[in-house]
Amino acid sequence: DKQTICNICEAGKYQDQDTATAAECKNCTTGLYIDDDGTNEDKHNSANSCKHCPASWEFKSVTEPCKICQGGRYQNDSNSFDLECKKCPANKFIADNSDDVDYHDSFGDCTQCQSGTFSTSGQRFCTNCPAGKKNLKVNGEITECQLCAVGHFARLAGANECLGCGIGQYQSEEGLPYW
């Protein structure tokens, strides 16, 4: 007596046919997953068994499918094929670093930087320019730090302008905090 043993599909795969030609499992569409790894055949019986990552999560791979968004990012669509979480725009941030799903499920989780600080898109925190650099603004928003030019300085972090050396003084290097 010869007995046939059929295996349950592995994680990320399904089989919706019960014919003798069903020799291989089919892959879930990229961005969808099945996390059961060959233990429950009911979780691998159709393409509908493949699931999206929920809000606050991004797709990583079929074997480790979903991970909470990292700091500075969110995912507000649980039916998305987006593989990565969306970045908060410049001058907004999410400080949480993949610890709490409640901080990554909407654009509203992106917090505005405090006055005098800035962030680039997708950052976990805001920063201010160190002494020796000034805030560079575009359309009223700080976008980056700029070295103070030769003959100029910025004593304090977060300065909006570099000051010129006084009469009888000089300073021959860029980015110095004092003359």
Which pLDDT belongs to residue 88? Answer: 97
pLDDT reported for residue 4: 60
Using CB atoms within 10 Å of the CB of residue 148, give its burial: 0 to 12 exposed, 13 to 18 middle, 19+ buried: buried
Tell me the HSE value of 135 on the side-chain side, using a 13 A CA sphere.
Answer: 21
How deeply is 64 buried, as exposed, middle or buried, from its count of CB atoms within 10 A (0-12, 13-18, 19+)?
A: exposed
pLDDT for the residue numbered 20: 64
List the one residue out of 91, 72, 89 whose CA is nearest residue 137: 91
Per-residue pLDDT tens digits for 123-172: 999 998 999 999 888 888 888 899 999 999 998 888 889 999 989 988 89
pLDDT of residue 30: 86
Residue pointed to by tokens 């003359």? 179
Query: In the chain, which stretches have pLDDT less than 50?
Result: none
- Pairwise CA distance, residues 148 & 159, whole Å: 10
